[in-house]
């Protein structure tokens, strides 16, 4: 389905006011207006967010009760175990709390469940094992536990003290733990409910540091720790794709600076293998596409404990060895992803009737369960329909499935409607996980496709691209794009500005790049400016664009490519059409920009 290009209403009065109030170029002002800012005061508050604008940690629901129990455990010299999750958010949250407690002299360790063997969150066997090893220990969850009602009951029955810190959606009833820390607990009024697990852990660590200081302020040593920990919180925030508004935006903005200046030896080693050490300034994309995937690869391939060790070690040689190993795991993960994607496409080709169905349910014995979620997203985008991939990697055990939505379909509702065919399932609107017996896959496929057919009518608006402004490429100078960067950090809820340009001339022959020609490399000219455009995963566009006789219209996000001290503007191409395929629907602000 061709994607619809949606241009925002152009209120020239609002744009001019923001431009005049903040002394910003018209182009920047139009982007701010397109994002909903109505005047300079609103836009200024967004642009000038400061670290002191973070809400006081004591206001986070449950944090004071948790702090009381943690400080008491430290003073009583009891063992404290941090029970984390295997994704980036869980790994960074675990590391934040571990560093905090270590600085206080606590006896602290961590437990990260194995992704394939134990699954997400608390599990009964782990609770019993922790209790048996040390019945007097305090267990603190990070990034998990808020739905673990039965497991909390087991811990209480055993006499194991349990504190739960989490940010995920809650069930109908809450776990009976010694303390619950969550930004959206019922009957509480915390100002911002979208913190990730690492954000919650950072706030808890901040509260502990205050308590161990003078009650209101942390000691100089602990303040220095917090300034370092905000970098870890930024990694978790970006990787968990929570909206970059309010506290999340502040955490990432200052966390990026912290990563550059105050990183541990483990993070420095990780940035070295990610080729980020030569950067003068890090961006949220550096986290999303370089740091995060390397940490996540460890969890996806069942070795998340090594990622926590990397972020907590003080041994430089060990840090380098672990970073190198995570680099190898990430490379292996990419190879596995490419193979699964190829096999998924082949399955559809071998079963033509599946290509005509409104959803895809694919299963294979060679698929790694820790990777299929990423591939399911790519299959859903490629075939433009909700997709569930099922790994049958263990012949004598149920299949493990992971699904991704497409065009705003409520995937959790779809899977829930077919639960009679499943052993377990969970998730949300955009993603879901499940377990299923092999002999029920065909029945599940039929039921799921029927539900999608009856409940998902894809409209152009479901796949539309929101465009901030129409521009001339000549206006996107290095200075202009540098000013655009001030609107960052970019990510969920605050995407990198997207522009459109019409009647763009293709210069030379479009090329492919990367392994297997998976990516597009293109040069275009517009109003005298020539610029390079790249599009990841869209190598097939090269042949399609080459076949166009005449100019094209493009949608793109401008970026600054920094390499060996040089800077130049490039474009991330998002979509394109022959120039006569769609008339422009916005006033070209570039024509008026100064």
Query: How sure is the predictor about 557, in pLDDT bands with cuts at 50, 70 and 90?
Result: very high
pLDDT at residue 426, rounded to an integer: 80
Least confident of 122-126, 212-216, 521-525: 212-216
Q: Is the pLDDT of residue 9 over 90?
A: no
User: Quick one: which of 440, 461, 350, 336 has its CA closest to 388?
Assistant: 440
Tell me the C-alpha distance between 367 and 496, whole Å: 34
Tell me the C-alpha distance between 301 and 104, whole Å: 33
Q: Does the N-terminal peptide bond of residue 438 adopt cis geometry, omega within 30 degrees of 0?
A: no
Span 399-415, average pLDDT? 94
Question: Model-level pTM?
Answer: 0.90
Q: Is the pLDDT of residue 396 over 90?
A: no
> Phi then psi for 453, rounded to 5 degrees?
-60, -35
Give one DSSP letter per residue of 39-102, joined into a string.
SHHHHHHHHT--GGGSPPGGGSTTHHHHHHHHHHHHHTT-EEEEE--SSHHHHHHHHHHHHHHH
Span 450-467, average pLDDT? 91
Tell me the C-alpha distance between 487 and 47, whole Å: 7
SS3 263: coil
Q: What is the pLDDT of residues 410-435, one digit of tens each?
A: 999 999 999 999 998 887 788 888 99
pLDDT at residue 65, rounded to an integer: 98
Span 559-566, average pLDDT? 80
Q: Is the pLDDT of residue 384 over 50?
A: yes
Span 226-232, average pLDDT? 96
* Residue 508 per-residue DSSP state: S
Unique residue bearing structure tokens 């810190």: 165
Q: Are 478 and 569 in contact (CB under 8 A)?
A: yes
Q: Are 529 and 568 in contact (CB under 8 A)?
A: no
Tell me the C-alpha distance between 109 and 143, whole Å: 16
Strands 469-470 and 511-513: unpaired
Average pLDDT, the chain: 92
Q: What is the pLDDT of residues 160-218, one digit of tens each?
A: 999 999 998 888 899 999 999 999 999 999 999 999 999 999 999 999 999 998 777 88
Q: Is the pLDDT of residue 582 over 80?
A: no
Span 503-518, average pLDDT? 92
Unique residue bearing structure tokens 């390499």: 563
Relative orientation angle of helices 292-300 and 304-312, to the nearest 10 degrees: 140
Query: How sure is the predictor about 252, in pLDDT bands with cuts at 50, 70 and 90?
Result: very high
pLDDT at residue 302, rounded to an integer: 84
Instruction: Please return the burial class of 208, using the count of CB atoms within 10 Å of its CB with bins 0-12, 13-18 and 19+.
Output: buried
Q: Is the pLDDT of residue 254 over 90?
A: yes
Relative orientation angle of helices 304-312 and 316-350, to the nearest 10 degrees: 150
Using only C-alpha atoms, the chain has a radius of gyration, in whole angstroms, of 25
What domains appear along the chain, each with residue ranges and CATH number? 5-9+468-591 (2.40.50.140), 53-219 (3.90.1640.30), 351-462 (3.10.310.30)
Q: Is the pLDDT of residue 339 over 80?
A: yes
Q: Is the pLDDT of residue 119 over 60?
A: yes
pLDDT at residue 389, rounded to an integer: 98
Q: Is the pLDDT of residue 438 over 60?
A: yes
> Phi then psi for 432, rounded to 5 degrees?
-150, 155
Span 363-386, average pLDDT? 94
Cβ contacts of residue 135 below 8 Å, gap of 6+? 158, 159, 160
User: Quick one: which of 272, 535, 2, 172 has its CA closest to 263?
Assistant: 272
> Phi then psi for 178, rounded to 5 degrees?
-65, -30
pLDDT at residue 585, rounded to an integer: 44
Strands 387-391 and 360-364: parallel
CA distances, 91 to each of 86, 198, 201, 294, 457 (Å): 6, 8, 11, 12, 39
Query: How sure is the predictor about 1, in pLDDT bands with cuts at 50, 70 and 90?
Result: low
pLDDT at residue 482, rounded to an integer: 92
Q: Is the pLDDT of residue 591 over 50?
A: no
Determine what percent of the chain is predicted with pLDDT higher than 70. Answer: 97
Cβ contacts of residue 445 below 8 Å, gap of 6+? 361
Strand partners, 506: 524
User: Quick one: which of 132, 136, 69, 138 has its CA closest to 110?
Assistant: 138
pLDDT at residue 337, rounded to an integer: 93
Q: How many helices (H) and strands (E) does the chain have?
A: 21, 19
Q: Is the pLDDT of residue 297 over 80?
A: yes
Q: What is the pLDDT of residues 78-89, one digit of tens each?
A: 999 999 999 999
Q: What is the pLDDT of residues 315-329, one digit of tens each?
A: 999 999 999 999 999
Q: Are 26 and 6 in contact (CB under 8 A)?
A: no
**Torsion of the alpha carbons at 465, 467, 470 and 476, rounded to the nearest 10:** -110
pLDDT at residue 589, rounded to an integer: 44
**Torsion of the alpha carbons at 550, 461, 493 and 88, rounded to the nearest 10:** -90
Tell me the C-alpha distance between 532 and 556, whole Å: 11
Q: What is the pLDDT of residues 61-80, one digit of tens each?
A: 999 999 999 999 999 999 99
SS3 541: helix
Angle (nearest 5°) at CA 94 between 89 and 97: 125
User: Quick one: which of 122, 125, 116 has its CA closest to 299?
Assistant: 116
* Residue 370 per-residue DSSP state: T
> Strand (E) positions, 84-233?
107-111, 138-141, 161-165, 179-181
> Phi then psi for 578, rounded to 5 degrees?
-55, 145
Q: Is the pLDDT of residue 497 over 80?
A: yes
As given in the structure block, the two tokens for residue 147 are 């739905």
Per-residue b or e along 305-339, where b marks 16 or more CB atoms closer than 10 Å to that residue's CB: bbbbbbbbbeeeeebbebbebbbebbeebeebbee
Q: Is the pLDDT of residue 586 over 50?
A: no
Q: Are 523 and 533 in contact (CB under 8 A)?
A: yes
Q: Is the pLDDT of residue 459 over 90?
A: no
Q: What is the pLDDT of residues 480-491, one digit of tens each?
A: 999 999 999 999
């Amino acid at each position: 389905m061709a994607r619809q290009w949606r241009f925002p209403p152009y209120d020239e009065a609002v744009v001019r006011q923001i431009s005049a109030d903040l002394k910003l170029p018209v182009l920047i002002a139009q982007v701010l207006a397109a994002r909903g800012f109505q005047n300079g005061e609103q836009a200024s508050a967004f642009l000038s967010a400061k670290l002191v604008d973070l809400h006081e940690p004591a206001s986070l629901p449950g944090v004071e009760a948790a702090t009381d129990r943690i400080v008491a455990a430290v003073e009583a010299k009891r063992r404290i175990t941090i029970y984390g999750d295997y994704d980036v958010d869980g790994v960074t949250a675990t590391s934040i709390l571990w560093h905090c407690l270590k600085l206080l002299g606590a006896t602290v360790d961590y437990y990260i469940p194995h992704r394939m063997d134990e699954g997400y969150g608390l599990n009964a066997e782990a609770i019993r094992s922790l209790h048996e090893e040390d019945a007097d220990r305090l267990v603190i969850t990070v990034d998990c536990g808020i739905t673990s009602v039965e497991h909390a009951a087991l811990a209480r029955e055993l006499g194991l003290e349990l504190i739960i810190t989490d940010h995920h959606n809650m069930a109908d009833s809450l776990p009976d733990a010694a303390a619950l820390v969550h930004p959206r607990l019922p009957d509480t009024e915390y100002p911002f409910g979208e913190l990730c697990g690492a954000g919650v852990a950072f706030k808890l660590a901040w509260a502990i540091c205050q308590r161990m200081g003078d009650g209101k302020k942390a000691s100089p040593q602990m303040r220095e720790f917090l300034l370092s920990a905000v970098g870890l919180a930024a990694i978790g925030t970006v990787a968990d794709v929570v909206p970059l508004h309010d506290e999340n935006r502040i955490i990432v903005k200052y966390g990026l600076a912290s990563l550059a200046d105050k990183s541990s030896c483990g993070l420095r080693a990780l940035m070295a293998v990610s080729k980020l050490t030569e950067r003068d300034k890090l961006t949220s994309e550096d986290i999303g596409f370089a740091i995060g995937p390397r940490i996540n690869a460890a969890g996806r391939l069942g070795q998340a404990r090594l990622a926590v060790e990397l972020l907590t070690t003080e041994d430089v040689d060990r840090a380098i060895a672990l970073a190198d190993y995570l680099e190898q795991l990430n490379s292996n993960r990419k190879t596995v992803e490419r193979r699964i994607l190829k096999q998924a496409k082949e399955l559809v080709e071998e079963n033509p009737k599946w290509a005509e169905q409104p959803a895809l349910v694919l299963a294979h014995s060679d698929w790694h369960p820790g990777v299929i979620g990423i591939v399911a997203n790519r299959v859903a985008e490629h075939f433009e329909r909700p997709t569930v991939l099922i790994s049958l990697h263990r012949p004598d055990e149920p299949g493990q499935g992971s699904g991704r939505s497409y065009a705003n379909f409520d995937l959790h509702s779809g899977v829930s409607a077919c639960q009679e065919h499943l052993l377990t399932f969970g998730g949300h609107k955009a993603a879901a996980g499940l377990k299923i017996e092999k002999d029920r896959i065909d029945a599940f496929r039929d039921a799921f496709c029927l539900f999608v057919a009856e409940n998902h009518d894809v409209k152009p608006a479901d796949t539309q691209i929101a465009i901030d402004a129409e521009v001339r490429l000549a206006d996107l100078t290095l200075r202009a794009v540098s000013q655009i960067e001030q609107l960052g950090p970019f990510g969920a809820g605050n995407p990198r500005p997207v522009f459109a340009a019409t009647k763009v001339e293709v210069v030379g022959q479009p090329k492919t790049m990367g392994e297997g020609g998976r990516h597009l490399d293109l040069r275009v000219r517009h109003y005298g400016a020539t610029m390079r455009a790249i599009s990841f995963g869209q190598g097939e566009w090269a042949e399609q664009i080459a076949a166009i006789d005449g100019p094209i219209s493009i949608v793109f996000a401008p970026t600054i490519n920094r390499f060996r001290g040089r800077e130049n503007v490039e474009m991330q191409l998002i979509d394109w059409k022959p120039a006569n395929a769609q008339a422009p629907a916005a006033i070209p602000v570039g024509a008026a920009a100064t």
